[in-house]
Amino acid sequence: MEALDGNAIGGLLQDVFGVEMTAATGVCAHCGATGPVAEMVVYVRAPGTVVRCRTCASVLMVFVDVRATVCVDLRGLARLDAVSAPQRA
């Protein structure tokens, strides 16, 4: 299936984290590559969403929607730095 990017899951991330996350910076726990969530490789296939590193293809995040519960696995990330400044309207 075709890969999208982190822009495509902005809504999902907003639901999970409560803030805008596509501009957040993630660090791959495997290779150390650093970049915005928007540039991560995303495979969307209900009920699961898999996010991979653009540099080494390691799994960074997994979101699975099971009976109204979103299960979030972030083990592939060493860090995730969200912008804490309030979003402009």
Per CB under 8 A, residues contacting other proteins are 1-8, 10-11, 14, 20-23, 36-39, 44, 83, 87-89
Please, are residues 8 and 44 in contact by the beta-carbon 8 Å criterion? yes
To the nearest whole angstrom, how small is the minimum distance from the Cβ of residue 62 to other proteins?
Answer: 18
Please, are residues 13 and 29 in contact by the beta-carbon 8 Å criterion? no
To the nearest whole angstrom, how small is the minimum distance from the Cβ of residue 53 to other proteins?
Answer: 15
Residue number with CB closer to other proteins (75 or 79) = 79
The CA-atom distances, in angstroms, between 10 and each of 17, 20, 21, 56 are 10, 7, 7, 22
φ/ψ of residue 67, rounded to 5 = 45, 60
Residue number with CB closer to other proteins (31 or 75) = 31
To the nearest whole angstrom, how small is the minimum distance from the Cβ of residue 47 to other proteins?
Answer: 11
Residue number with CB closer to other proteins (7 or 57) = 7
